[in-house]
Amino acid sequence: MKSLEMKNKNILLGVSGGIAAYKSCELVRTLVKAGANIDCILTKAGGQFITPLTLQTLSGNPVHTDIFHLTEETDVRHISLADKADLILVAPATANIIAKVACGLCNDLLTTVICATKAPVLFAPSMNVNMWENPITQDNIEKLKKYGYHFIEPGEGMLACGYEGKGRLAEINTIANTAKSILE
């Protein structure tokens, strides 16, 4: 395996609302250890699974949860985050977030930043096997791939919902190495 070196790379990690959100903590640790600067956007649904404090502690940076904080910002947050990123990584990427991006819907900070960025975007899907196999989800993924978005295939096995099949978040090292290859 290649050495995981991402010194001075700015990765924006989007954490959406799936049970695999807890694995984003290990992902942040892995990327920070590789030298990357990690900013996190935690969606409202993602915040039902993990806390901003956890991601802030692991990344060493404030966690962004809302599209507007008028009392705190002097810049346009979604633009500054979009411009700063060398890579946007969405892990876990739910069927919902994939669908919103595929339709160009910008109704939260994460989807707005993705729409505003020129950086590559990498999705690491995680969802129920039936959601993964749904033809609409697959069409959305194919549509985004045609626009140049990157995807990591989910793993197979026992899912948190009790189903078995494809839909598990890819292994953390697989996600980190794929991110590194896109950044090279």
**In this predicted structure, what is the pLDDT of residue 71?**
46
Q: How would you list the strands of the sheet with 37-42, edge to edge? A: 63-64, 37-42, 10-15, 87-93, 121-125, 150-151
pLDDT digits (tens, 9 = 90+) for 130-181: 899 999 999 999 999 999 999 999 988 877 877 788 989 999 999 999 999 9
Q: Which of 25, 40, 103, 161 is catalytic?
A: 161
Is 1 part of any domain? no
Is 3 part of any domain? no
pLDDT digits (tens, 9 = 90+) for 25-84: 999 999 999 999 999 999 999 999 999 999 999 999 999 987 765 445 556 567 778 788
pLDDT digits (tens, 9 = 90+) for 72-125: 555 656 777 878 899 999 999 999 999 999 999 999 999 999 999 999 999 999
Structure tokens that stand for 57 in this block: 């502690």
161 carries an active-site annotation: yes
- Helical H segments across 67-134, by residue range: 77-84, 95-102, 109-116, 129-133
Q: What is the CATH number of the domain that holds 142?
A: 3.40.50.1950
Domain holding 68, by residue range, is 10-183
Is 5 part of any domain? no
